[in-house]
Structure 1
Amino acid sequence: MGFVDDCIMGRPAQDPKFDLSSLIIDLSKQLPDPQPIVRLWGNLIASRGNVSAVVGLAKSRKTFLTAAVASGFLSSSDFLGFDTPATGKVVYIDTEQSRAHVHKVARRILRSIGLPTNRNHDPLVVAALRELTPDRRKEATGEILRRYKPDLLILDGVADLCNDPNDLHESEALTCELMRWSSEYENHILCVLHTNPGGDKARGHLGSALLRKSETVMLVKADGDTSVVAPQYCRNEPFTEFAFRINAEVLPELCSIPASQPKEDVFAEIMETGKVYAHSELVELIREKLNVKESGAKMKISRAAKAGIIVKNQVGGYYLPGSQVEVSQSELHDEPF
């Protein structure tokens, strides 16, 4: 009899190789708290047996941040606020950059903590997997874990370990593999992901799946020459938002968070006082100014109207507060209905 017959007869199919006892929580035993791997100003952000993520747009300096995490783990004190009460090994895997650029990242980690950059150091292993196929990258990552058994694994470009980050089953399978690796090797795996243009959500089903399982999610946003790092999600106490910039030695250093610009600035810049704009016209102006998709522009217009930053009149036109100009229905040919 097969699985369906067993279900019909009330006898669930059983796998004799599946040991449930290892999955059941035994409340009679005392389990220690998760061992910290990385802290940020004393706040736990990464512990053994867990995964975390750094997310942000391209060129937001995510690699500088993850390199700083590696430096803090390897340092005898701290770096950029990151430190560890543990000792051990870091494996840094890059899937996007050329070997020459990955070489620079490795040397930057060593320079930041005062170690010689012209020789290898046992606590740091760096690998470049750009030339491999997604399946081979995943296989190579597993082999690197088995060989070096790092306490901290940084995967800069985790989406490149699967063929399609938008495939639900493949994304869930990779996320499960990452969690299995973190448990089996008792390490922490820090993954780097891109966010969607115009938003803060990590790309694809992989981004959604991985963020649900993450202990900490650090969101990086570029603001000119400064990058601002905020706690998007934390299972532990959230860390305080901070900013860094790249100094003359091409190393990240802490700096002040740039003053936030008023949200209405963008509308004040693109809209003339006393003029009413059709919805499609305003969408195009927003797209050109902020380099966002049509859906993102429409969302910004909707939120601005709800917040009173711009005003929508009865015939579907938009204008700045205090600058209403009457227009007829015939003047607006594309009401967003």
Structure 2
Amino acid sequence: MTSKEDILRLTNNGLDIFRHYVPGDWEAGTQFRNPFYRDTKASFYIYYNRHEREYRMKDFGDERYSGDCFALVGLLHGWECARKDDFTRILEKIVCDLNLPVNAGSSLPSGMPSKDNGTTYITKEFSTDELRWWGTYGITKEVLKHFRVNSLQEVKFPRSTRTATAAEPMYLYRFANHEDTTAKLYQPMSDTRFLYLKKAKDEYFGYAYLPGKAPLVVITGGEKDVLTLAAMQIPAFCLNSETACLPEELMKKLSERFEHITLLYDMDETGQRCSLQLYDKYASKYSIGRALLPLKGTKEEKDISDFARLRLAAGQTPAQIANEVNALLNSTIKDTYDQLAEEYAGCFIDCACPPQEPKTILRIHHEAAAAAGDLVCITGGSGTGKSNYADCILSGALNTMLCNIDTLGMQILPNAEQKALLLFDTEQSEYQSYKNTQRILHRARLANQPDCMKIINLCRVARVKRQQLIEQFIKAADERHHGIHSIIIDGLADLMASANDEEEAVRLIEWLHGLAQKYNTVIISVVHTAGIPEKVRGHIGSELTRKSSAVIDIETDRKKNCSVVKVLKLRAGSAVKAGISMFEWDERTEMHCSMVG
């Protein structure tokens, strides 16, 4: 049995293993970019650990790439060092790939008997005729050796013996580089072409020999197809049959190692049907394509091996065939791109067909703050006047007669088309909401509440139902009033169980942004600070400020007995030019008014 110590001794304490698997011109002890993902900073390095007396790796950007050379090989192939069987595979993979002179899995020496489940088989050297037959499919002796394919002299079953002849040769496929792997008998000239001598769980021919990372991997129909593609330097493996299920867990592992997965099945009815089923199952989740060979689908020409055989017989070189196959496989990537472009056409920016410019709905001291489709964040501590400041937006929208009213330094697009104006209050009592509504009308110089303005107090509604109810109200208002001018949610954090739940916060803001885009409106959210000026509360505050086109902070100046408005962010304008303003409560007008100076 090969040991870890044997391998370290033969590989310069593991450095040669890192040299083999880690591409690029790097030096031990010097930081460089990790080539196994899109690393933006040089934070990966390979160094000599004097205590362990071996070379190790460390990546400050991704902790998965930390450990010894065996951990790296395991990571690249989906194996875990802590599992005995996986660690054995790691050792055997290193021995095979680096061609180390130790006792590990390899092709069986000629004449040596081996036993699988009571069946004994004896291997022999490939004859000239056998190699010529494999060569008609573009498969070389080196490829056969690499994949541990043997020519068999004899197979002894418990009750019978089968001997190979020139007319009926026998070959042995083994699925991995260890002795407990699946063993499959292949008799291409016999009536019974395939027979499993041993079958291990979750093994696929060619999978153990796939590279750790690559742009493309091919899932094909059979073992010979894998060998034909390998001769073209194309990574491939096959399931146990074309009708076999492709497990979701396997797809996840493949997608982590390969940028694109292509199905290259037989061109007969079964192959096309099965590849289409797999494609339909995974196309929405993974980068998967489906390549169709230019073959008739008959017994004589249906798979990639037949394709290579026909092209070689026509006088093409292996390099020409490989180029043609690569072009076919690359076309599936383009087809996937075209499909995505069609499915998500609304996400693509086309300068030849520009979108309609949204109207600016909110300005602060004449600096653009928010347009239709944007989010706005108004934040502040308790009692700072942030709710009254937000209410001014509705007053400004109601000012269709363009009267000279005080909107605390904001300029709001008048709601001339009488679209819906919505305010959802999750914090204040029903009576306080009523008083706030009166002040909105008073500021707008209106005696009666127009039908387009709806104030909805959600304090009685359970938190889990508020989000759904808001969406229903928005949809109904949009249908009745033929659009929505603006929406205010006073107490956004009260739509979720915890303001510090990061996952829920991301979902909520994503939902909110989607509503603003869908209904072509601006949504203003009022949230609390975390007890520190300009520091918005929880993950919900962090996510909201990141997505908002404008962030406005309101704090209390106790010396001047007023509220101070600071514009922290304006995506479409200048926060500096918007400046700082103040407002205070005016007993004479019974509302907050702007302060001068």
TM-score w.r.t. structure 2 length? 0.41
* In the alignment, structure 1 residue 6 sits paired with structure 2 residue 6: no
The separation in 2 between residues aligned to 1:90 and 1:227, in whole angstroms, is 26
* In the alignment, structure 1 residue 111 sits paired with structure 2 residue 451: no
Alignment root-mean-square deviation, CA: 2.0
> What letter is aligned with 1:100?
Y
The separation in 2 between residues aligned to 1:101 and 1:81, in whole angstroms, is 24
Shift of 1:89: 2.9
Q: Which residue of 2 aligns with 1:39?
A: 363
* In the alignment, structure 1 residue 243 sits paired with structure 2 residue 582: yes
> What letter is aligned with 1:220?
I
Residues 398 and 414 in structure 2, CA contact (< 8 A), matched pair in contact too: no
Q: Which residue of 1 aligns with 2:377?
A: 53
* In the alignment, structure 1 residue 170 sits paired with structure 2 residue 415: no
Q: Which residue of 2 aligns with 1:156?
A: 490
| CA 1:199–1:85: 2 relative to 1, 3 Å | closer
Shift of 1:33: 2.9
Within 5 Å, give how 1:273-288 maps onto structure 2.
Answer: none
Shift of 1:101: 0.3
Pairing partner for 2:396 from 72, 86, 103:
72
Shift of 1:96: 0.4
> What letter is aligned with 1:232?
L
Residues 533 and 555 in structure 2, CA contact (< 8 A), matched pair in contact too: no
Residues 441 and 449 in structure 2, CA contact (< 8 A), matched pair in contact too: no
Within 5 Å, give how 1:114-133 maps onto structure 2.
Answer: 114-116=445-447, 119-133=448-462
> What letter is aligned with 1:74?
L
Residues 94 and 102 in structure 1, CA contact (< 8 A), matched pair in contact too: yes
The separation in 1 between residues aligned to 2:414 and 2:533, in whole angstroms, is 35
Shift of 1:122: 1.6
Deviates more, 1:191-200 or 1:79-88: 79-88
> What letter is aligned with 2:380?
G
The separation in 1 between residues aligned to 2:362 and 2:579, in whole angstroms, is 15
Q: Which residue of 2 aligns with 1:29?
A: 353
Secondary structure of the equivalent of 2:549? strand
Secondary structure of the equivalent of 2:261? coil
Secondary structure of the equivalent of 1:31? coil
Q: Which residue of 1 aligns with 2:530?
A: 196
Larger C-alpha radius of gyration, 1 or 2? 2
The separation in 2 between residues aligned to 1:14 and 1:250, in whole angstroms, is 62
CA-to-aligned-CA distance 1:163-201 (integer Å, 9 cap, x gap): 111101100000000000001111100000100113321
> What letter is aligned with 1:20?
Y
TM-score w.r.t. structure 1 length? 0.71
The separation in 1 between residues aligned to 2:283 and 2:371, in whole angstroms, is 34
Shift of 1:241: 1.4
Q: Which residue of 2 aligns with 1:255?
A: 595
Q: Which residue of 2 aligns with 1:264?
A: none
Q: Percent identity?
A: 24
* In the alignment, structure 1 residue 102 sits paired with structure 2 residue 371: no
The separation in 1 between residues aligned to 2:443 and 2:413, in whole angstroms, is 19
> What letter is aligned with 1:252?
H
The separation in 2 between residues aligned to 1:167 and 1:205, in whole angstroms, is 6
* In the alignment, structure 1 residue 15 sits paired with structure 2 residue 274: no
The separation in 2 between residues aligned to 1:73 and 1:38, in whole angstroms, is 10
Q: Which residue of 1 aligns with 2:557?
A: 223
The separation in 2 between residues aligned to 1:142 and 1:86, in whole angstroms, is 24
The separation in 1 between residues aligned to 2:368 and 2:451, in whole angstroms, is 25
- Residue segments in structure 1 that go unaligned for 5+ positions in a row: 258-337
The separation in 2 between residues aligned to 1:137 and 1:158, in whole angstroms, is 10
Residues 362 and 369 in structure 2, CA contact (< 8 A), matched pair in contact too: yes
> What letter is aligned with 1:5?
L
* In the alignment, structure 1 residue 89 sits paired with structure 2 residue 420: yes
> What letter is aligned with 1:89?
A
CA-to-aligned-CA distance 1:212-243 (integer Å, 9 cap, x gap): 00000011011132101011111022222110
CA-to-aligned-CA distance 1:123-152 (integer Å, 9 cap, x gap): 311010012121211111111111112220
Residues 154 and 189 in structure 1, CA contact (< 8 A), matched pair in contact too: yes
* In the alignment, structure 1 residue 141 sits paired with structure 2 residue 386: no
Residues 555 and 564 in structure 2, CA contact (< 8 A), matched pair in contact too: yes
CA-to-aligned-CA distance 1:70-107 (integer Å, 9 cap, x gap): 11122133533323345233111110011000001111
* In the alignment, structure 1 residue 214 sits paired with structure 2 residue 548: yes
The separation in 1 between residues aligned to 2:388 and 2:451, in whole angstroms, is 21
The separation in 2 between residues aligned to 1:32 and 1:255, in whole angstroms, is 38
Aligned length, in residue pairs: 255
Residues 73 and 82 in structure 1, CA contact (< 8 A), matched pair in contact too: no
The separation in 2 between residues aligned to 1:122 and 1:240, in whole angstroms, is 35
Residues 37 and 188 in structure 1, CA contact (< 8 A), matched pair in contact too: yes
